[in-house]
Structure 1
Amino acid sequence: MKLELDELDRRILHALQRDASQTNQQLAAAVHASPPTCLRRVRRLVEEGVIARQVALLDPERLSAALTAIVEITLDRQGDEEQQAFEEIVAQEAAVQQCYRVSPGPDFVLVVLVADMPAYHGLAHRLFASQKNVRNVRSYFSIRRSKFETAVPLESVHMP
């Protein structure tokens, strides 16, 4: 069932996507609602799974994780069991930031964040070369990140 969001819900979500560290008082002032109303709405959005979690976004370059790779993976056997098995292996690797099953083309696209090429080589050996079902790996290395957003666009969300 798709959740319907009203204008206040959307303002709250926009504000939290910009800065989830603000207090309920600050959030209420920013979205022009009373603090109790704002708190009630945020709790509902959390309970209904719209707000999945709140995290701190770190700058990887300040933490020596400066190499981003976009990796296409094609499996030899593409059955559901084989794809789930690959996803379970990838989920255990902290350097894999994102994993997508895609179609058409490769079976998976991964976003990987590592310190350098030797670290990528080690990861590639663990995740790809040592897996019998991985047929093809194609890696692209980021030269510069010109845009990075975490906010989900709310403009297309249905209003009641």
Structure 2
Amino acid sequence: MEDSLDALDWRLLELLQDDASLTNQALADAAHVSPATALRRVKRLRELGVIERFTVLLAPRLAGQGLHALCEVTLDRQGAEHLDAFEARAVAQDAVQQCWRVSPGPDFILVVWVADMPAFHALTHRLFTQDANVRNVKSFFSVKRGKFAPKVAPISSSP
């Protein structure tokens, strides 16, 4: 897949990762190509699955989500069906922004945004304490975000 992407593809991807709201004209101008070329390339990148989706990032605190937690979850039974069942329950929760199966150590790492500690407590009750297969949960609460860069890196070192 990566071999099929050229320098222009990578430039378009870099620009879109910085600002997905760019109009096609602005994208073409920034990449120094015609609007038709930019449109065709972006369409191809979407069809190839390189661009999964376009989205908007909100400021969590301004959207009423003031508590950010990272949760390590260890299950008692790690069979595929048990891992799949927990993952399905976790991703069904709106507060769970990311769900990662990891190894070694815990089985999952969840990235959670909730309004406050009572909302976190309610989430943990629904997701962890009501599940007999959850052996251990360790939660870490963010006190400061040093960096948040939701982009594939390093784009600049690509062709």
Give the TM-score of the pair, scaled to structure 1. 0.95
Q: CA RMSD in A?
A: 1.2
Task: Give the match for residue 5 of structure 2.
Answer: 5
Does 2:128 align with 1:137? no
Cα distance, 1:3 vs structure 2:
5.2
Q: Distance in 1 between matches of 2:40 and 2:33?
A: 11
Task: Give the match for residue 36 of structure 1.
Answer: 36
Q: Distance in 2 between matches of 1:4 and 1:20?
A: 22
Moved over 3 A (4+): none
Does 2:73 align with 1:82? no
Q: Distance in 2 between matches of 1:91 and 1:83?
A: 12
Does 2:86 align with 1:95? no
Paired residue type of 1:133: N
**Structure 2 counterpart SS, 1:72:** strand
Task: Give the match for residue 60 of structure 2.
Answer: 60
Paired residue type of 1:150: P
Cα distance, 1:4 vs structure 2:
2.4
**Structure 1 counterpart SS, 2:137:** strand
Aligned length: 158
Paired residue type of 1:50: V
Does 2:91 align with 1:122? no
Give the TM-score of the pair, scaled to structure 2. 0.95
Paired residue type of 1:93: Q
Paired residue type of 1:61: R
**Structure 2 counterpart SS, 1:63:** coil
Task: Give the match for residue 48 of structure 2.
Answer: 48
The structure, 1 or 2, with the larger RCO (C-alpha pairs under 8 Å, 6+ apart) is 1
Cα distance, 1:76 vs structure 2:
0.2
Cα distance, 1:64 vs structure 2:
1.6
